[in-house]
């Protein structure tokens, strides 16, 4: 390319020499041509489509050649009438002046050619404020025109520069920024440059990060910032990069409507405003959308965790209720066992009362026998004799057995055993009362829990509290207490039956704890009288008050337990 340019300039040089000679031969021919910057600007305004660097350099060299030739002609004309004495000196000056001018033109043309080829811009041939010359040399002429259009749009006073107030008004009025635009405005006025020209705006655009956006980055901006994802495929089809955003910013109808095929005027305006924002002020600022997404995700996770926690609490509550129902069933079985033992005790007491009643009746009849008339009592006397004979036989047999065993219990042993039995019955009654209180407490707690579950708020609160655990624990304690009472009652019945069988003494049926305390600790000789009373009035022995209270409370406890079981089942 350089060789072709040199050959072109060589041809220009020879043409200039020939034209200079022909000009000297044919006389003066003056043409007024001004080859300054304004003439160049006038040429580009008449021919706006000139984009070839070689053609521009050729026109510049040709203009310089014309000016030089005309300058030589002017010199020759000015010296035409000086006389023959200066003809030799004039020819030498003309030859030297033409050679110098042509050399300078050659040097300037070559310098402009190489500078335009190396830098890719027309700064070496165009002035700083010559936009038409500048835009004719850049590669992205459409982008340059769009930047210039944006500059004119921001430049309200048409002074060729954008100051701080104009950018502030543009951000507020056009882009609708109410607050938070200071950083973007500061980035626009880079290095506190308060007056931005078209060239500075173009250079800032070339340095911008948005200018180097790829197709993917541009489509991401379209989908997220502009929020028009329906045009993503269209942008990818036409390979729209960051360099094409200025054309979108000025809403180029040819490009946006015909090339991209976007017909909706609202979408066009939205794309234009967003593109204008990123072209002038850099990448889009961070909005609250991401924070909203974070907050939404956090709330969603919190809701999921809350639902999972409520589900777990509900499941735990159901598991506690099932375990409580099982404990209640075990407690009911223990209560039934205790009731059966109470029934057995009642049957034994009734049998002993029947025997004692028969014995007392027999003694009474024996005492009343002498007062009866002989006519009415013959039969009774015979019956009494038979009974007396039977008793004597039994007594003889018992005496014989005692003689065979060679051991007889001391007389005081029966009273002490009766006193021991009464003390055990008293302690058993205390334990039974405590177990009944625990049962009543568990029933009340279960009733409260059932009332809480009847309401929505109470059900939610009960699943998070410790009420279920407390009720469960109270039920277990009541069941254990009733089990202990039942086992102790079984052991006592069996033990005292065995003692009565071995000793042949009446221990369970006695005259009560106050009487035994009076006999054993009250006065001397009381033991003998108590022995006599127990032998003669054994039929009048009664079941102690503690045993009767135990029976009554066991029946009442069973009814309470059945009610409590029904409440827990509900």
Alpha carbons 216 and 222: distance in angstroms, whole number? 10
Say what the pLDDT of residue 349 is: 84
pLDDT at 428 over 50: yes
- Residues with Cβ < 8 Å from 272, sequence gap 6 or more? 248, 249, 250, 251, 256
Say what the pLDDT of residue 81 is: 39
Residue numbers in the known binding site are 155, 157, 159, 161, 166
What phi and psi values does residue 542 have, to the nearest 5 degrees?
Answer: -135, 160
Alpha carbons 206 and 190: distance in angstroms, whole number? 14
pLDDT band at 214 (very low <50, low <70, confident <90, very high): very high
Q: What is the mean pLDDT of residues 10-19?
A: 56
pLDDT at 451 over 90: no
Q: What is the mean pLDDT of residues 15-32?
A: 43
Say what the pLDDT of residue 455 is: 65
DSSP codes, 178-227 = -SS-HHHHHHHSGGG---B-HHHHHHHHHHSTGGG--HHHHHHIIIIIS-
Q: What is the mean pLDDT of residues 351-355?
A: 85
Say what the pLDDT of residue 176 is: 55
Q: What is the mean pLDDT of residues 42-71?
A: 37
Q: Are 74 and 28 in contact (CB under 8 A)?
A: yes
pLDDT at 498 over 50: yes
Alpha carbons 363 and 369: distance in angstroms, whole number? 10
Q: What is the mean pLDDT of residues 236-244?
A: 88
pLDDT at 304 over 90: yes
> In terms of pLDDT, which residue wins out, 212 or 7?
212
Cα distances from 460 to residues 308, 310, 311, 313, in angstroms, run 14, 8, 11, 9
Say what the pLDDT of residue 192 is: 53
pLDDT band at 14 (very low <50, low <70, confident <90, very high): low
Highest mean pLDDT among 63-72, 312-321, 389-398, 523-532: 312-321
pLDDT at 94 over 60: no
Write out pLDDT tens, residues 141-184. Answer: 788 888 888 778 777 667 766 665 566 556 655 665 555 555 55
pLDDT at 421 over 80: yes
CB atoms within 10 A of CB 519: 23
Domains of the chain, start order: 2-119 (no CATH), 132-285 (1.10.150), 312-569 (1.10.287.3550)
pLDDT at 345 over 60: yes
Say what the pLDDT of residue 251 is: 65
Mean pLDDT (the chain) is 67
pLDDT at 75 over 70: no
Say what the pLDDT of residue 117 is: 37
Say what the pLDDT of residue 191 is: 53
Alpha carbons 240 and 234: distance in angstroms, whole number? 9
Say what the pLDDT of residue 412 is: 83
pLDDT band at 458 (very low <50, low <70, confident <90, very high): low
> In terms of pLDDT, which residue wins out, 397 or 118?
397
pLDDT at 68 over 60: no
CB atoms within 10 A of CB 280: 30
pLDDT at 311 over 90: yes
Residue holding tokens 């043309």? Answer: 109
Write out pLDDT tens, residues 327-340. Answer: 888 888 888 888 88
Angle at 521 between CA 518 and CA 525, to 5 degrees: 80
Q: pTM, whole model, 2 decimals?
A: 0.31
pLDDT at 464 over 70: no
Structure tokens at 397: 């047999």
Q: What is the mean pLDDT of residues 136-143?
A: 62
Alpha carbons 425 and 417: distance in angstroms, whole number? 12
Q: Which of 250-259, 317-326, 489-498 has the lowest mean pLDDT?
A: 250-259
pLDDT at 550 over 70: no
pLDDT at 109 over 60: no
Say what the pLDDT of residue 275 is: 84
The DSSP symbol for 509 reads S
Alpha carbons 529 and 535: distance in angstroms, whole number? 10
Residue numbers in the known binding site for Ca(2+) are 155, 157, 159, 161, 166
pLDDT band at 197 (very low <50, low <70, confident <90, very high): confident
> In terms of pLDDT, which residue wins out, 311 or 453?
311
pLDDT at 263 over 70: yes
Say what the pLDDT of residue 35 is: 32
Cα distances from 412 to residues 4, 401, 424, 501, in angstroms, run 152, 21, 19, 18
pLDDT band at 310 (very low <50, low <70, confident <90, very high): very high
pLDDT at 59 over 50: no
> In terms of pLDDT, which residue wins out, 496 or 117?
496
Cα distances from 334 to residues 30, 343, 482, 483, in angstroms, run 138, 14, 7, 6
pLDDT band at 527 (very low <50, low <70, confident <90, very high): very low
């Amino acid at each position: 390319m350089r060789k072709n340019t040199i050959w072109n300039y060589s041809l220009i040089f020879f043409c200039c020499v020939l034209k200079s000679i022909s000009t000297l031969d044919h006389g003066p021919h003056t043409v007024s041509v001004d080859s300054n910057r304004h003439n160049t600007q006038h040429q580009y305004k008449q021919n706006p489509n000139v984009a070839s660097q070689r053609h521009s350099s050729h026109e510049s060299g040709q203009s310089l050649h014309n000016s030089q030739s005309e300058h030589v002609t002017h010199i020759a004309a000015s010296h035409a009438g000086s006389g023959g004495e200066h003809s030799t000196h004039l020819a030498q000056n003309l030859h030297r002046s033409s050679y110098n001018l042509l050399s300078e033109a050659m040097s300037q043309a070559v310098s402009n050619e190489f500078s335009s080829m190396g830098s890719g811009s027309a700064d070496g041939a165009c002035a700083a404020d010559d936009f038409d010359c500048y835009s004719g040399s850049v590669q992205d002429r459409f982008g340059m025109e769009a930047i210039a259009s944006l500059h004119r749009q921001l430049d309200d006073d048409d002074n060729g520069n954008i100051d701080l107030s104009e950018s502030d008004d543009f951000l507020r009025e056009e882009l609708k920024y109410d607050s938070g635009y200071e950083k973007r405005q500061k980035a626009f006025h880079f290095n506190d440059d308060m007056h931005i020209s078209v060239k500075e705006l173009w250079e800032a655009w070339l340095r911008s990060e948005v200018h180097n956006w790829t197709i993917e980055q541009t489509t991401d901006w379209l989908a997220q910032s502009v929020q028009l994802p329906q045009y993503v495929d269209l942008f990818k089809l036409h390979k729209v990069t960051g360099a094409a955003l200025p054309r979108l910013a000025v809403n180029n109808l040819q490009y946006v409507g015909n090339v991209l095929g976007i017909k909706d005027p609202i979408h066009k305006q939205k794309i234009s405003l967003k593109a204008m924002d990123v072209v002038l002020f850099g990448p889009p600022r961070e909005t609250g959308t991401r924070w909203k997404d974070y907050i939404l995700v956090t709330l969603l996770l919190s809701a999921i965790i809350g639902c999972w926690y409520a589900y777990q609490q509900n499941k735990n509550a159901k598991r506690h209720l099932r375990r409580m129902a099982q404990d209640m069933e075990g407690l009911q079985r223990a209560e039934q066992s205790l009731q059966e033992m109470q029934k057995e005790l009642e049957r034994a007491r009734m049998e002993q009362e029947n025997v004692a009643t028969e014995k007392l009746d027999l003694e009474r009849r024996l005492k009343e026998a002498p007062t009866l008339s002989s006519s009415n009592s013959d039969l009774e006397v015979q019956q009494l004799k038979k009974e007396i004979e039977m008793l004597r036989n039994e007594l003889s047999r018992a005496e014989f057995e005692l003689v065979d065993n060679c051991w007889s219990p001391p007389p005081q042993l029966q009273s002490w055993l009766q006193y021991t039995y009464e003390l055990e019955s008293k302690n058993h009654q205390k334990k039974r009362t405590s177990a009944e209180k625990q049962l009543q407490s568990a029933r009340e707690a279960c009733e409260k829990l059932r009332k809480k579950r009847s309401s929505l708020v109470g059900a939610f609160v009960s699943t998070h509290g410790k009420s279920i655990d407390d009720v469960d624990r109270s039920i277990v304690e009541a069941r254990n207490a009733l089990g202990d009472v039942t086992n102790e009652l079984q052991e006592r019945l069996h033990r005292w039956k065995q003692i009565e069988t071995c000793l042949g003494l009446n221990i369970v049926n006695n005259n009560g704890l106050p009487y035994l305390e009076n006999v054993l600790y009250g006065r001397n000789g009381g033991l003998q009288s108590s022995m006599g009373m127990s032998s003669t009035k054994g039929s009048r022995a009664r079941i102690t008050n503690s045993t009767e209270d135990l029976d009554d409370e066991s029946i009442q406890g069973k009814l309470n337990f059945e009610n409590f079981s029904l409440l827990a089942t509900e």
